[in-house]
Structure 1
């Protein structure tokens, strides 16, 4: 017997399964096979094909972005977005320690260094107040209007918040601080497809935003990502991700250092089919979140609800345990019972490659790392068909 048996029973009843329950698996309930087979029949399975164009156009329309540029994965999208935002070798980029490693790796790929600023407990994302306080103590605007680190004179070029588990950050606050300190805002919205802040889609507030379509995301292309941008930045993103090739009927001319970061047509076909089901996925996931919240209302676990002014996609549902020992007990009991639950990522500032990066007081991030557990969050159709 476990003190969490009621929760485990709820999860099994919801998924109507006695089999292993994954944290978040993809569901293919629409035209996925049809569209993918169509790419095989057309022979356009690589980086050129009708589905790439359709996927970009439909994603731009869905998010309200002027342009959407498909990439091979979300990390590549972040790297290119940061480059377009002006991040270059020697720069600093402000971000949060509570994130997936791709956020920091994209900064490092630009030969820049992260500065770790604490998160808000209500949003799980970068705290505007903590960011502003750190900047007041450690930064200044130089005579060119650039934000520079007082200690070493290096430019702090941009701010890269991540919308954790699909919950939007305090974007009003972040935009105010970025404007005050002349920082470019690039949103890591990898987990936030379908999430909105004051009615506007996450990833469309900064100069650029990025999405991920990894196999565990709410919409998957197997692997893939997307850059959301204005028209000019979108054109540049398309150029950079297409090896910076100058258009010509047959000549090979490349005018700058580019990347082969294009999303294959095969993957885009899968994405088009998944996008047709996105509203269904969102509705089911929000219903599950409401049921989790109701079931846990009188328990020792506190359900993490969407922040004020937000509509979250509830990509991964989460609970806060009363202490670290309860967190460990929940993780061990759930995984032993065949129900996958996971802790939050190890904080980025604790990883070997980022231990020397500048950081502020990270007490909220550390508290969340000690208390937070993710619950199974996929739609019912993601459970294997043989489960009964």
Structure 2
């Protein structure tokens, strides 16, 4: 087991990272929204025209622009990323008491969406390189717990031999914008008759084998919260290549209201999940800046990497050569064997120096509402959670950052 960073090493680390960031700025938030395009113009047009609610030209435009950017046929804008995940799960046919494989190392929205659908999140481990689902380990686990129970309309049906529940879907997450190794997961899910819904909330603009993430599953979800790479204030989107799924998602997100000039006819339980036009206007302006923003964030990641060259026991998380990250949040990874107390010492020193850094989220199985959920061995996720620290990652920092 490696030794933790000493007090002197922590001091040197803080000084090194602080020196790499712009001079004259006292505090560095983790990730700030940036409005440097046509946001005022587009939002004002909504106010001038009176189209501020859930219909309007900017909703249609934002959805088409997203679909084009993400390499899919359909995008449905929603009120937030959690709503997008929930709607996608409902649309693919997840029902009460199904099991959905979810990373233990993810934001709580991933697991919450499964619970909202009445299903059960089954937690799986991550790898150390990408922080995504450890596919080989999951394959071994499925050999142990999955039993075949006939054929369904879309392939074989498997159940969990320990719980009897149908293994319905897998919801991988692209952590901090780093694409997981998703093609092997697609192959594994197909083998077991499971549907993939990608949680691409953090990964708009990231690619895997030159293909945009969010285009590999039956459906996927994006988030445009205020801290994301682009923002609509609050918002999300469902992506899919299936016209049938797109129609189903759109229907569910619009209170399941059937089209009629004046009657209020609803044919199933629906949700008021559609994104308002005024938010979509903000999104259109933000999306126009995405490519430039990714270039700046990539430059900032390079600044961090250069600053930490040769620093013992600390490395910058980076995407493998087959992938391209949007660098939503830069992360440093401390030495193996680091404890939460040792990590928190580093966090305290960084925050006292004005760098608003944070650890990764509490692992899902450690939260009280998910403590009894089924899970595989999570030793890698548990170890990585002690080692990860997110760094200030706003794209404007790259414009004035200093090479260490």
TM bracket (short chain): over 0.9
Corresponding residue number in structure 2 for 1:123: 130
Hey, what's the Cα distance between the residues in 2 that align with 1:149 and 1:38?
A: 53
Corresponding residue number in structure 2 for 1:189: 200
Corresponding residue number in structure 1 for 2:3: none
| 2:146 is the counterpart of 1:139 | yes
2:198 is paired with a residue whose SS is strand
Corresponding residue number in structure 2 for 1:108: 115
Hey, what's the Cα distance between the residues in 2 that align with 1:252 and 1:12?
A: 61
Give 1:175 shift.
Answer: 0.8
Question: Relative to 1, partners in 2 of residues 1:120 and 1:235: Cα closer, same or farther, differing over 3 Å?
Answer: same
Corresponding residue number in structure 1 for 2:327: 314
Aligned counterparts, 1:68-87, within 5 A: 68-87=75-94
Residue 358 of structure 1 is aligned with which of 369, 374, 393?
A: 374
Residue 317 of structure 2 is aligned with which of 287, 290, 304?
A: 304
Corresponding residue number in structure 2 for 1:209: 220
Unaligned runs of 5+ in 1: 384-388
Give 1:382 shift.
Answer: 11
Corresponding residue number in structure 1 for 2:291: 279
1:140 is paired with a residue whose SS is strand
Deviations 1:128-181 (A, max 9, x none): 112111111111111232110112321010000100000111111101110111
Hey, what's the Cα distance between the residues in 2 that align with 1:154 and 1:14?
A: 51
Give 1:9 shift.
Answer: 5.3
2:64 is paired with a residue whose SS is helix
Deviations 1:320-356 (A, max 9, x none): 1122354222200011111100000010001000010
Query: What is the total number of aligned residue pairs between the two structures?
Result: 383
Hey, what's the Cα distance between the residues in 2 that align with 1:361 and 1:85?
A: 28
| 2:181 is the counterpart of 1:174 | no
Hey, what's the Cα distance between the residues in 2 that align with 1:11 and 1:266?
A: 38
Residue 348 of structure 1 is aligned with which of 364, 380, 387?
A: 364
Aligned counterparts, 1:18-33, within 5 A: 18-33=25-40
Give 1:16 shift.
Answer: 4.0
Mean CA deviation greater in 364-373 or 5-14: 5-14
Give 1:381 shift.
Answer: 6.9
CA RMSD, 1 decimal: 1.6
Any conservation in 2 of the 1:25–1:382 contact (CA below 8 Å)? no
Any conservation in 2 of the 1:26–1:382 contact (CA below 8 Å)? no
Hey, what's the Cα distance between the residues in 2 that align with 1:327 and 1:90?
A: 38
Corresponding residue number in structure 1 for 2:250: 238
Give 1:10 shift.
Answer: 4.3
Question: Relative to 1, partners in 2 of residues 1:15 and 1:32: Cα closer, same or farther, differing over 3 Å?
Answer: farther
Corresponding residue number in structure 1 for 2:4: none
Corresponding residue number in structure 2 for 1:55: 62
Mean CA deviation greater in 205-214 or 5-14: 5-14
Question: Relative to 1, partners in 2 of residues 1:51 and 1:12: Cα closer, same or farther, differing over 3 Å?
Answer: farther
Hey, what's the Cα distance between the residues in 1 that align with 2:255 and 2:370?
A: 30
Deviations 1:84-124 (A, max 9, x none): 11111010000110000000000000111111111011110
Any conservation in 1 of the 2:20–2:304 contact (CA below 8 Å)? no
Corresponding residue number in structure 2 for 1:330: 346
Question: Relative to 1, partners in 2 of residues 1:11 and 1:31: Cα closer, same or farther, differing over 3 Å?
Answer: farther
TM-score normalised to the size of structure 2?
A: 0.92
Give 1:363 shift.
Answer: 0.7
Hey, what's the Cα distance between the residues in 2 that align with 1:15 and 1:35?
A: 31
